[in-house]
Each structure stands twice: as C-alpha cells, then as structure tokens.
Amino acid sequence: MSQQLRVNPIACTGHGVCAELLPERVILDEWGYPVISPEPIPPALRKAARRAVTDCPALALLLSGHQRAW
C-alpha cells in the first residue's frame, strides 16, 4: 500500500519544517508554503514522512494510503 503526503492548505502557515525533514518530496515556494510532489512515499522515506506529519507545528500534513478516500 503506497502512501501519499498531502497538506491541508488552510491549516498550513508556512513553518517549513516539512521541507527540512523530507526534501525529497517537499520544497518551499517563494512565499514559504510547501509544494508537495504527488509521487507516492516509498518505504525508505516512510519514517521521515511520518516525522514530518508529527512535527508540523500546525498539524497540517496528512499521510494516507493511496486508495483511501480522504
């Protein structure tokens, strides 16, 4: 089951912690907000992705199984 990282753009206030923890999937745009790559999260990145979700100060990230309706 592949996982997908998604941001709640309303909760997100652009802290940027996610981009530091998961640079393989997240970069910051010129206004400080995350641009998240739509590629699924491979097993090697799972731990970092989970950490990004837990560490986001705004709790704005979601990690989800690919087929689940969010």
Binding site for other proteins (CB under 8 A): 8-17, 20-21, 29-33, 35, 53-55, 57-59, 62, 69-70
**Residue 18, token pair as written in the block:** 């996610």
Q: Which is nearer to other proteins, 11 or 65 (CB)?
A: 11
Q: Which is nearer to other proteins, 41 or 53 (CB)?
A: 53
| Alpha-carbon distances of 29 from 14, 20, 52, rounded to whole Å | 10, 13, 17
Closest CA to 12 of 55, 56, 42: 56
Q: Which is nearer to other proteins, 14 or 65 (CB)?
A: 14
